[in-house]
Structure formats: C-alpha cells, structure tokens
C-alpha cells in the first residue's frame, strides 16, 4: 500500500517536473461533469457524487494555485441545471454554502481571490450572502482568482450584456459605432479577465453545454473520460502538458 502511494506520488512529481513553467495557462476553465455517474457506479445517491466532487475542487484549486495559474473558472451550476429534481438542486446549493464556509479561511490564507460569474440573484439568499462574504474577505489577495460559474449560461450572459449595451446606447453613454470585441468583453461577466487558454471537460461528454461560448473562441480543448470526483492533480497536469504541446495559431501562420 505504502509503495503504491509512493509510486503515485513519484509519477505526479515526474509530471510536475516535465511542465514548462514558462507556458502555464493563464486561465483554465473546467466543466466539472460526471458526479452523478460516479455515484451511480457505486450505487450511491447522486448527491454523494456532488459531495465527492467538492473534494476534487479542493485539490485542483491547490495545484492551480501552486503552479501559477492566474484564473480558474469552474462550471458549478448552469442555467439549465434548474431542470433537475428540487432535491438535487437544494443539495447543490447546500454544498456551495458548506464549501464556502469551510474553505474560505484556507483559500484566503493561500492568497486566493473568490469570485463568480453568472446571475447569482436567482440563487437562494444564503448562497448570495456567503458568496459576498467570501468575495469581500479575499478581495485584496493577489493569487489565483477562483471563479465559480453559478446559475451561469453563456447565452444568458450574452443576453444580459446586450441589454446593458442597449440601455447605454439609449441613454447616450455609448455610440453604436463604439461596439467592438473589446467593449463586449467589458460587458460580460468575465470583464477584465483574459479568455481561457485551456478548457477541460471530464466525464466523456464531448460538448460545451453553454459554457463561455464567446470566451472560448481560441481556447484549447481537452476532454477525458474520468468522472469529476476521480479527476485529480495528475489528470490536470496531463491536460496542461498536452496544452503545452499545442501550436496555437489564432488564425495566423508560423
Ligand atoms: C456535474 O455532474 C455537476 C453538475 C452539473 C452540477 P452531473 O450531476 O452532471 O453528473 P452526470 O453528468 O449526471 O454524471
Ligand atoms: C454542465 O454539465 C454543467 C455543469 C457542469 C455545472 P451538465 O451535466 O449539466 O451538462 P449536459 O446536460 O450533460 O450537457
Ligand atoms: Mg452531467
């Protein structure tokens, strides 16, 4: 048993050693998927899968923070996830509150800034309170920005941005001619953040599910079959190593 742990540790360290420290993605976005199937495979209720998924978040945040990722955006609850049974939605909201209450102190100690994207006004009041508290407590930190996507849907985000732009044009604060890529970036929930360099989706699904559609125009995509609760440091390092081999051309030629 001990040997197994040691071997695993060694292989992690090897992956870590192979990383090009000068080419760490500035922004990683992850679609945390597969909690339900992970639980089903073990004859557990889906909510146990979500609980196990929170442990993965702890590990991944720590690794990203340590290797110098600047932004980590985690898809935690989509605008479409309200379609799920009320029990599951409630369990997810409770887990969010629990996570924030339990982790904020440690995250703060590790210099992490807590932030979110998505329309949190529709979340239960207690979630909003904990989020605001966490954001306030960590606002002066200078390390990893942990961006939780909550009641987030890319189309919803774009619609909200268009409405704000329309109002500013109507009120004379903005001219139609001023609308360009940069301006739109500033009206999105991700205002001020760079686009994701790398988007990761575990669980075997090969789709984007309404996540950051505008922002991933030139992101590198990485998929794996592992369910989110089984995702770990090793998997993340594998994704980053693969990313480092990609030739990002942005439409140009080398
Ligand atoms: C992802 O896991 C978590 C959320 C969407 C909140 P799922 O709950 O979607 O797990 P699967 O896809 O059913 O396995
Ligand atoms: C995407 O996963 C949303 C989150 C991970 C929060 P889903 O499980 O909701 O996506 P679909 O339904 O498989 O596309
Ligand atoms: Mg899913």
Q: With bands split at pLDDT 50, 70 and 90, how would you rate the model's confidence at 86?
A: very high
In a domain, 19, yes or no: no
Q: Which of 66, 74, 78, 197 is nearest to 147 (CA)?
A: 74
Tell me, in angstroms, the distance from the centre of ligand 2 to residue 78's CA: 7
Q: Which ligand is nearest to the CA of 37?
A: 1
In a domain, 58, yes or no: yes
SS3 (DSSP) at 11 = helix
In a domain, 173, yes or no: no
Percent of the chain with pLDDT over 70: 95
In a domain, 78, yes or no: yes
Q: Phi/psi at 78 (nearest 5 deg)?
A: -95, 165
- The two three-digit tokens of residue 80, written as one number: 């479409």
Nearest atom within ligand 2 for CA of residue 207: 14
CB environment 77-97: b (16+ within 10 A), e (fewer)? bbbebeebeeeeeebbbbbbb
pTM, rounded to two decimals: 0.96
In a domain, 11, yes or no: no
For position 134, what pLDDT does the model report?
98
- The two three-digit tokens of residue 34, written as one number: 């597969």
Nearest CA to ligand 1 atom 13: 36
Q: Look up the CATH number of the domain holding residue 58.
A: 3.40.1180.10
In a domain, 162, yes or no: no
Residues by chain with Cβ below 5 Å of ion ligand 3: 33
230 is catalytic: no
Strand 113-117 vs strand 71-78: parallel, antiparallel, or unpaired? Answer: unpaired
Residue 1 has pLDDT above 80, yes or no: no
In a domain, 179, yes or no: no
195 is catalytic: no
What is the count of structural domains for the chain?
1
User: 30: domain range?
Assistant: 24-153+196-245
pLDDT digits (tens, 9 = 90+) for 3-38: 666 666 666 678 999 999 999 999 999 999 999 999
Q: How many CB atoms lie within 10 A of CB 60?
A: 24
For position 2, what pLDDT does the model report?
62
CB 31 within 8 A of CB 200: yes
Percent of the chain with pLDDT over 90: 94
Nearest atom within ligand 2 for CA of residue 81: 9
Q: Distance between the two ends of the chain, CA-based, in angstroms?
A: 49
For position 3, what pLDDT does the model report?
67
Q: Which ligand is nearest to the CA of 92?
A: 1
In a domain, 50, yes or no: yes
Q: Using a 6 Å cutoff on CB, does residue 31 contact ligand 2?
A: yes
pLDDT digits (tens, 9 = 90+) for 205-245: 999 999 999 999 999 999 999 999 999 999 999 999 999 99
């Amino acid at each position: 048993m001990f040997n197994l742990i040691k071997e695993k540790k060694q292989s992690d360290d090897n992956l870590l050693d192979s990383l090009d420290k000068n080419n760490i993605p500035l922004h990683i976005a992850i679609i945390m998927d597969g909690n339900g199937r992970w639980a089903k495979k073990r004859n557990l209720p889906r909510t146990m899968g979500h609980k196990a998924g929170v442990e993965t978040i702890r590990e991944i945040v720590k690794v990203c923070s340590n290797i110098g990722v600047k932004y980590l955006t985690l898809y935690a609850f989509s605008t479409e996830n309200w379609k799920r049974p009320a029990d599951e939605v409630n369990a997810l909201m409770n887990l969010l509150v629990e996570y924030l209450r339990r982790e904020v102190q440690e995250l703060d100690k590790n210099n992490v800034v807590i932030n979110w994207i998505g329309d949190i006004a529709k979340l239960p009041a207690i979630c909003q309170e904990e989020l605001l508290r966490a954001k306030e407590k960590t606002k002066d930190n200078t390390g990893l920005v942990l961006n939780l996507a909550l009641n987030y849907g890319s189309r919803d985000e774009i619609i909200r941005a268009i409405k704000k732009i329309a109002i500013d044009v109507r009120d004379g604060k903005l001219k139609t001619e001023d609308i360009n890529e940069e301006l739109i970036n500033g009206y999105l929930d991700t205002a001020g953040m760079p686009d994701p360099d790398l988007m990761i989706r575990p669980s075997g699904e090969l789709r984007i599910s309404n996540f950051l559609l505008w922002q991933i125009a030139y992101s590198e995509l990485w998929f794996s079959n592992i369910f989110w609760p089984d995702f770990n440091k090793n998997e993340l390092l594998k994704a980053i190593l693969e990313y480092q081999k990609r030739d990002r051309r942005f439409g140009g030629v080398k």
